[in-house]
Structure 1
């Protein structure tokens, strides 16, 4: 074996040993560590609007000029504030004689009042037929916003909605066509979350 080969092998052995020591030395460092797992829950809040009474109004033998008042208590029983409330109006006229040329809903006037003690303070006045055609935004703007304002209906709070229904005695209309007829009204109160 020549001197050069011995030097090469010796150099290669020293390099291998140095590399091994570097790897061993680099692997001897240890750090303390710790870990923790967190449990996270995303629970959705609830919107829960209740209205009492559930029956709007039930009267018999009404005639032009009659008025009826109903007081609704709207309660926020949910866990989120209600930003706005609207009413979805639907009614059906039962025309017993089949002679109606007009819509009975045009002659039922609806007055939203400030409270039971101030019947002369009207928030908004319309007819059932107009109310049925109103958009939710218009209902909120004209009926609920003047009462609830921009604070809506916070959690746990209630609000009285007082409504007066009037059978308009329009002298220019043939009201005889409504004799014996009835009008079935459904109101759906819709609560919407306050979006910031």
Structure 2
């Protein structure tokens, strides 16, 4: 073998040896552990009992109706505040209304069954429909629920008095009329916290 071939073979052997040595220096111990983690969201579940608060016929100016209902937190998260969205439809029996029937239906939110004379807030259905959620919470639900809101698995009693206001004037236009009232109670959670 000539010298060039011997030098080439020696160079190849050296490269192969360095590669094997270098490859051996990357060996290490290892250990592996797997964790299984879960993120589960809580639930807000507000219910109203009974679901129909008032259903009455043959109202005359000056009549009043008192009804009670419960707000119940069936969820897994505390409720910080409750707001109320009001909507209604007036059915004008004789197509002669010049005023909104709901302006003549006054609503009094009362503290509880034992103290029916203590009014939390008084307004008409027409005014209630125009109120902002924050104003409703401030005037109606905050005085009753306070800072604690509605904790998980708790309920709070509410009493409402509806008055067909006798304004001392001619209210004949409302004879035979009816009003369908829809109340939507909206619950919001307490602010998030470090878990």
TM-score, normalization: structure 2? 0.86
| Counterpart among 164, 170, 179 of residue 167 in structure 2 | 170
> What secondary structure, in the 3-state scheme, does the structure 2 residue paired with 1:150 have?
helix
Q: CA offsets per residue over residues 22-56 of structure 1, 9 Å max, x none?
A: 54344335322111222333222211111011112
Tell me, what secondary structure is at the counterpart of 2:37? coil
Q: How does 1:178-189 map to 2 (within 5 A)?
A: 178-189=174-185
User: Of 182, 186, 192, which residue of structure 2 is paired with 1:190?
Assistant: 186
Out of 16, 21, 24, the position equivalent to 2:20 is 24
State the Cα distance separating 1:132 from its structure 2 match.
Answer: 0.7
108, 115, 118: which is aligned to 2:115? Answer: 118
The alpha carbon displacement at 1:179 in A equals 1.4
Q: Any idea what SS the aligned residue of 1:42 has?
A: coil
Matches within 5 A, 1:1-196: 9=7, 13=10, 21-29=17-25, 30-171=27-168, 173-196=169-192
In structure 2, how many angstroms separate the alpha carbons of the residues matched to 1:145 and 1:193?
14
The 1-side partners of 2:90 and 2:143 are apart by 31
Tell me, which stretches of 5 or more residues in structure 1 are unaligned? none
Count of paired positions: 190
SS at match of 2:188: strand
Distance 1:128 1:188 in 2: 14
TM-score normalised by length of structure 1: 0.85
SS of 1:62's equivalent in the other structure is coil
Q: Distance in 1 between matches of 2:152 and 2:88?
A: 31
**Equivalents in 2 of 1:137, 1:146: separation in Å?**
13
Give me the whole-angstrom Cα distance separating, in 2, the residues matched to 1:146 and 1:26.
77
